[in-house]
Amino acid sequence: MGATTKSFSQADETREFDKGVVNIVRLAGHTIGQATFQPGWKWSETVQKIAGGDACQVHHVGMVISGTMRVAPVGGDEIELTPGNAYEIEPGHDAWVVGDEPFVGLEFDSKAIETYAKP
């Protein structure tokens, strides 16, 4: 029996890109990401340059800590993510920060966060 803790401020891995950063910690075979996107961040204008493709192809499962994000699935209805929301976003979408507050979210899908914002 035991307990382990890690801080996102001393992450195992950090990925920085235009108007955003993802800090990653790994615990007991799981990967957790803390994504921070600044006002003006939009996937199709920032991360798309890194990942390629017409839309984000990552499956997201997470929770909003602060800020607001709008998600536009290809061929689907847009949704808005606000603090306290848990979310699942299927591959094939664009997303952007709404308003003047940075968006901070936690991502829990280990496979997805291992590939996010990588070429």
Report strand pairing: 20-27 vs 30-37: antiparallel
The answer to whether the pTM exceeds 0.95 is no
Give the Cβ contact number of residue 98 at 10 Å. Answer: 15
Asked if the structure places residue 59 within a domain, the reply is: no
3-class SS at 72? strand
pLDDT (tens digit, 9 = 90+) per residue, 73-106? 999 999 999 999 999 999 999 999 999 999 999 9
pLDDT class of 119 with cuts at 50, 70, 90:
confident
pLDDT surpassing 90 at residue 1: no
Asked if the structure places residue 117 within a domain, the reply is: yes
Enclosing domain of residue 118 = 23-34+99-119
Asked if the structure places residue 115 within a domain, the reply is: yes
Q: Which amino acid does the sequence have at 108?
A: F
Asked if the structure places residue 65 within a domain, the reply is: no
What one-character DSSP code corresponds to residue 111?
A: H
Asked if the structure places residue 30 within a domain, the reply is: yes
Number of domains observed in the structure of the chain: 1
Backbone angles phi, psi at 42, to 5 degrees: -145, 130
Run of H or E residues at 94: strand 93-98
The rounded distance, in Å, linking the Cα atoms of 29 and 11 is 15
The rounded distance, in Å, linking the Cα atoms of 101 and 62 is 19
Asked if the structure places residue 116 within a domain, the reply is: yes
Asked if the structure places residue 5 within a domain, the reply is: no
